[in-house]
Amino acid sequence: MTSIRIRKGYDINIDGPPSFDVEKLEKPTRVALLPGRIPFIKPRLKVKVDDQVNVGSPVFEDKRNPDFIFLSPGGGRVSKIDYGPRRIIKEIVITLDQDEGYETFPIINEAQVEDIEREALVQKLTTGGLWPLFRELPFRNIPNPQSLPPSIIISLGSKEPFQPLPEVYLKDKIDLFEFGIKILNKLTETIFISASPGNNFVPDRLNTHVTHTCEGVYPADDPGVLLYYIKKHPDENRSWYINGQDVLLLAMLFKTGKYPVDRTVVLGGSLARERKHFQTRMGVPLNHITKGRADDAGTARYIVGGIFKGYTGSQDSYMGFYETSLVLIPEGDEKEFFGFARPGFNKPSRSRTFLSFFNKSSMAMDCNCHGEVRACINCGFCAEVCPVDILPQFTYKSILADEIEEALNHGLLDCVECCLCTYVCPSKIELRNILKETKKAYFLEQL
Amino acid sequence: MKFIQKIFDSKRKHFVKGGRFEKFYPLFEAFETFFFIPGNVTKNDAHVRDSLDLKRLMSMVIVSLIPPLFFGIYNSGYQSNLASGLPVTFIAVFIKGLQIVLPIIIVSYGVGFAWEVLFASIRKHNISEGFLVTGLLFPLTLPPTIPLWQVALGISFGVIFGKEIFGGTGRNFLNPALTGRAFLFFAYPMKMTGDTVWTVVSGVNYQGVDTFSGATPLAVSAVQGTSAFIESLLSKAGFTLPKLFYGLYPGSIGGTSTFMCLLGALLLVFTGIASYRIMIGGILGVLVAAYPGYIVSLVSGNSTVPMLSLPPFYHLVMGGFAFGITYMATDPVSAPGMNVSKWIYGFAIGALTVLIRIFNPAFPEGIMLAILFMNLFSPLLDHFEIHFRLKKRVPNV
């Protein structure tokens, strides 16, 4: 086991962390798939409204690569297909039957996995609808099943507030996790598993699998950060990664022969009253999780997928394919009188310009920008937090000047999209968005 | 609070698109955001944001300028009353100082702000808070006797040619306040340098005398043709080391007191707004540049350049070095952004300051030119440091 100290990053001291408790939620009345939240795909529908589907029936596939199949997370009737602007498919809602039907997939036990051919295994994962759980760095797209990754990185971290803790989702599931690693071993020769140090929750058995402990603040657990620290050669840039919890799904598919829909999700944030882990399923409606567990739900912002990288949901929306976190914090759209001149004992800030520097307790945060957009003054705060040593203040300027080559030289593609640059910027420039959109445009150009 | 909000809400319609003063929306925005942090919320990623914004950042610089500002007011009044034979009680001196300094600051802010509004309105961007600092830094570098029309001219030059024609805040490569000062320095040297500009004389006792001649310590040190040790020469003129450090002597309004600048520097470094690398680099630069000459002059016992025999730490407390390296050199826009470059930049400013002071008889003070000169080099320093840094990366293209 190698231990790595991630030198840069930042942990926000936000109020409302979830507890370790787990509650099993009852079955929701409907679930949904959100094709618009899956990066870089062009969905082609395979169902119509009022079609009957089973758990595991194909619902849509990618037009560019039909191997990327997305299966139904519930058995029942397709009750609504919701289109967004420019006919983007936003939601495919499935009203669940009392007794859900299941598509069946071949059951493969651990011994059989050892003997199976790689192509056959890949094919089982793609038809099993779990291939999109893999993501390829640096663009975080779904990898081409035919390609061979230099390595697969599994991150057992939860540094972004607030993500399901590995100690919760791995509890009593170590066997399953090991099975999952066996499957991954067929896909690549090198597997990196990173965990935070001092994870004494992890039983010794799992510790034998962990290859790297990443010490440091957010986003030390990000697979891109680990790769940045360990890579020696440009070939390694195209490594894949998969979330720790999703490894369990791979094993579940092979073990049970059913499309696995179980997810451990987290509810956190200062407006959530019961902050803890929930065992529920993929595509669950957000209000199914928050019902009776949130204060003042009308004015709260529903952040799906993490405070930094997540997207804004609403009471009526659903958990996505990848997301396992729901955070409720105040919208914070009130004006503040003489805000800039206050001592700010309760104003969270990375800088030492507020008295909050002396306040070590966690603070309630809201979605206010705390200022207007201004020109970049080259303060360099973004470079101080960037975990992969990009110089966002220079890189973003080269992007604005259309010097993409220069931005790439700066390490644009190493960007792990952690959002810290956007978070700290006193000029309130959407740095991460600029970098991310440039990466996206570059990726689409190469297709 | 509600009341002020109502005023803004009722006037907003004139400034938004289609209103009568649509063009002056930046002015409206500047005043409104002065009173209220706006309620705008994050649209998507990074749902939460740091509480620090540019207004807070710049106000911290203003706070750090309070010690030199108040001391400058006191000192201007003190020197004036002393020279004019008026009472030097604290109240009298402070009021006198306010009479001298306040008009200069008001003109600087007023004229500069007008330019900012004009450019912001035409360019359709919001007014940056950076001007709050520029508009206060500029008057503090001026002699108290400066005519107000020159203040207006200087700040206009600084804002327009030091900043706005290059694209406004964030795109200027020169420090705007120093650009304005340099303009005045070369355009109106009689009012910016010499022995007579540092003290305002007034009052009945000195009718007929409209100037007071008092050499600054730098001028005393630069006197040619003496072989005596400058230290004793300075002491004779009343400039002991403690006096130079605390700054109660004639000079530019805010620049005399090293002690007050040190207080401001501590706040700036503690809050992380100004770079300690530039400041420490500057001090090192001064000492490294001054010591060899000092040692040579000690050994030879005689020197044709009298300034060489000045103990190097005197350079730190004399003239505007402390003020310049604390507030001007650390301007993040015109300074380099990379850490090693900041050391080099600071060091070069310190060294150049000393070289100009010692070897260039035309300019008794060198900090202004040293900073402006190094401003020109900071993009180059950044360029090379980034270049070397990128070589270490594993390419990802």
Which residues on B lie below 8 Å from A376 (Cβ)? Answer: 170
Pairwise pLDDT comparison (B203 vs B389), residue with the higher score? B389
A contacts of B55 (beta carbons < 8 Å): 340, 371
Q: How many CB atoms lie within 10 A of CB A440?
A: 15
End-to-end CA distance of chain B: 53
Nearest chain B Cα to A327, which residue?
A: B47
Token pair 């936003």: residue: A90
**Whether B267 contacts B64, CB under 8 Å:** yes
Residues contacting residue A140 through CB under 8 Å, at least 6 positions apart: A39, A417
Q: What is the pLDDT of residues B361-373, one digit of tens each?
A: 778 788 999 999 9
Question: Percentage of residues in chain B with pLDDT exceeding 90?
Answer: 50
Whole-number Å distance between alpha carbons of B386 and A394: 9
B387 three-class SS: helix
As to burial, measured by CB atoms within 10 angstroms (0-12 exposed, 13-18 middle, 19+ buried), residue A298 is exposed
Q: Give the model's pLDDT for residue A200.
A: 56
Do A232 and B394 lie within an 8 Å CB cutoff? yes
Whose tokens are 């706070």? That residue is B63
pLDDT value of residue B203: 55
From the list A12, A349, A377, which residue is nearest B54 (CB)? Answer: A377
| Secondary structure of residue B41 in the 3-state scheme | strand
Q: How far is CA A282 from CA A30, A50, A66, A325, in A?
A: 11, 21, 22, 12
Residue A34: name the closest of A86, A87, A89, A78 by CA: A89
Cα(A196)–Cα(A210) distance, integer angstroms: 10
How many other β-carbons are positioned within 10 Å of the β-carbon of residue B126?
Answer: 19
- pLDDT for B7 equals 82
Query: Residue B160's Cα: distance from chain center in Å?
Result: 17
> CA-to-CA distance for B174 and B375, rounded, in angstroms?
6
The predicted pLDDT at position A140 comes to: 92
Region A309-322: mean pLDDT is 90
- Span of A207-216, B44-53, B345-354 with lowest mean pLDDT: A207-216
Least confident of A156-170, A250-264, B345-359: A156-170
Contacts of B33 in chain A (CB under 8 A): 371-372
| Tens of pLDDT, residues A387-406 | 999 999 999 999 999 999 99
**Domain ranges within chain B, ordered by starting residue:** 54-206, 217-249+257-381
In the predicted model, is pLDDT for residue B109 greater than 80? yes
Secondary structure class of B265 (helix, strand, coil): helix
Which chain A residues in 36-75 lie under 8 Å from chain B, judged by CB atoms?
Answer: none
Please say whether the dihedral angle defined by the alpha carbons of residues A63, A65, A68 and A69, taken in this order, is positive or negative.
Answer: positive
Question: Residue range A152-163: average pLDDT?
Answer: 88
Share of chain B above pLDDT 70, in %: 92
- Residues in B closer than 8 angstroms to A340, CB to CB, are 37, 53, 55-56, 59
Q: Is the pLDDT of residue B205 over 50?
A: no
Residues of B in contact with A434 (CB under 8 A): none
Q: How far is CA A264 from the centre of its chain?
A: 13
pLDDT band at residue A203 under the 50/70/90 scheme: low
Contacts 24+ apart (CB under 8 A), B219-225: B219/B195, B219/B364, B221/B306, B221/B307, B221/B310, B221/B314, B221/B318, B221/B357, B222/B306, B222/B307, B222/B357, B222/B361, B222/B364, B223/B306, B224/B306, B224/B361, B225/B306
Lowest mean pLDDT among A3-7, A141-145, B34-38, B265-269: B34-38
User: Which of A88 and A200 is assigned the larger pLDDT?
Assistant: A88
In the DSSP assignment, the letter for residue B22 is G
Calculate the average pLDDT of chain A: 89
ipTM for this prediction? 0.90
Q: What is the mean pLDDT of residues B314-337?
A: 91
Contacts of residue B259, defined as CB under 8 A and 6 or more positions apart, other chains included, come to: B245, B246, B247
Which of A14, A335, A350 should one mutate to test binding to chain B, selecting the residue with the greatest count of B CBs within 10 A?
A335
Q: For residue B9, with 0-12 CB atoms within 10 Å meaning exposed, 13-18 middle and 19 or more buried, which class applies? A: exposed
The pairing of beta strand A191-195 with beta strand A212-215: parallel
Buried b (16+ CB within 10 A) or exposed e, B65-81: bebbbebbbbbbbbbbb
Q: Are B141 and B177 in contact (CB under 8 A)?
A: yes
d(CA A266, CA A19): 9
**pLDDT, position B209:** 47
Whether A348 and B273 lie within 8 Å, measured CB to CB: no
Residue pair A301/A315 in contact (Cβ under 8 Å)? The answer is no
The answer to whether residues A244 and A156 touch, using CB atoms and an 8 Å cutoff, is: yes
How close A140 gets to chain B, by Cα (Å)? 14
- Alpha-carbon Rg of chain A, whole angstroms? 22
Residue A201 has pLDDT above 60, yes or no: no
| Nearest residue to B67 via CA among B199, B256, B330 | B256
Secondary structure of chain A in HEC code, one letter for each residue? CEEEECCCCCCCCECCCCCCCEEECCCCCEEEECHHHCCCCCEEECCCCCCEECECCEEEEECCCCCCEEECCCCEEEEEEEECHHHCEEEEEEEECCCCCECCCCCCCHHHHHHCCHHHHHHHHHHCCCHHHCEECCCCECCCCCCCCCCEEEEECCCCCCCCCHHHHCCCCHHHHHHHHHHHHHHCCCEEEEECCCCCCCCHHHHCCCCEEEECCCCCCCHHHHHHHHCCCHHHHHCEEEEHHHHHHHHHHHHHCCCCCEEEEEEECCCECCCCEEEEECCCEHHHHHCCCECCCCCEEEEECCCCCCEEECCCCECCCCCCEEEEEECCCCCEECHHHCCCCCCCCCCCCCHHHHCCCCECCCCECCCCCCCCCCCCHHHHHCCCCCCHHHHHHHHHCCCHHHHHHCCHHHCCCCCHHHHHCCCCCCHHHHHHHHHHHHHHHHC
How many of the other CB atoms lie within 10 Å of CB of A262? Answer: 14
Structural domain spans, chain A: 2-12+117-256, 369-446
Contacts of B18 (CB under 8 A, 6+ apart): none
Mean pLDDT of B322-347: 94
Mean pLDDT across A280-307: 86
**pLDDT band for position B208 (cuts 50, 70, 90):** very low
Selecting from B44, B271, B397 the residue whose C-beta is nearest the C-beta of A352 gives B271
How far does Cα B149 stand from its chain's mean position? 20
Phi, psi of B189 (to 5 degrees): -60, -30
DSSP letter for B394, please: P
Chain A CB within 8 Å of residue B396 CB: yes
Query: What's the pLDDT tens digit per position in A371-391?
Result: 888 999 999 999 999 999 999
- List the single range of A15-19, A160-164, B236-240 with lowest mean pLDDT: B236-240
Number of other residues whose CB lies within 10 A of the CB of residue A371: 26
How high is the pLDDT of residue A175? 87
Distance CA B348, CA A139 (A): 42
Lowest-confidence pick of A112-121, A287-296, B201-210: B201-210
Mutation target among A379, A395, A436 for the B interface, most CBs of B within 10 A: A379
**How far is the alpha carbon of B136 from chain A, nearest alpha carbon, in Å?**
18
Q: Residue A296 pLDDT > 70, yes or no?
A: no
Task: Give the confidence band of B223 by pLDDT, cuts at 50, 70, 90.
Answer: low
Element (H, E) at B36: strand B36-37
Alpha helices in B42-89 (DSSP H): 54-84
Q: Indicate which of B27, B32, B36, B53 best probes the interface with A, i.e. most A CBs within 10 Å of its own CB.
A: B53
Whether residue A374 and residue B59 make contact (CB cut-off 8 A), yes or no, is no
- Residues of B whose CB is below 8 A from A235: none
- CA dist B314 and B303 (Å) reads 18
The token duo for A276 is: 């803890």
Which of the four pLDDT bands, split at 50, 70 and 90, describes residue A437? very high
- Residues A102-141 pLDDT 10s: 999 999 888 888 888 889 999 999 999 999 999 998 899 9
pLDDT of residue B39: 80
Is pLDDT at B112 greater than 60 in this prediction? Answer: yes
Q: Are strands A2-5 and A212-215 parallel, antiparallel or unpaired?
A: parallel
Say how far apart CA A272 and CA A263 lie, in whole Å: 19
**Percent of chain A's residues with pLDDT above 70:** 98
CB contact under 8 A, A370 and B51: yes
Q: Residue B207 pLDDT > 60, yes or no?
A: no
What is the rounded distance in angstroms from the CA atom of residue A331 to the CA atom of residue B100? 49
**What is the rounded CA–CA span in Å between residue B2 and residue B371?**
46
Q: Across the interface, do A335 and B37 touch by the CB < 8 Å criterion?
A: yes
**Alpha helices per DSSP H over chain B:** 2-15, 25-35, 54-84, 90-123, 130-140, 148-162, 176-187, 189-192, 217-221, 230-236, 241-246, 258-271, 276-300, 312-317, 321-323, 339-359, 367-391
Q: What is the pLDDT of residues A24-73, one digit of tens each?
A: 999 999 999 999 899 899 999 999 999 999 999 999 999 999 999 999 99
Within 81-140 of A, beta carbons closer than 8 Å to B belong to 138
Binding-face residues of B in 14-73 toward A, CB within 8 A: 29, 33, 35-57, 59-60
Rounded to an integer, what distance in angstroms lies between the CA atom of residue A324 and that of residue A166? 12
Mean pLDDT of A72-92: 91
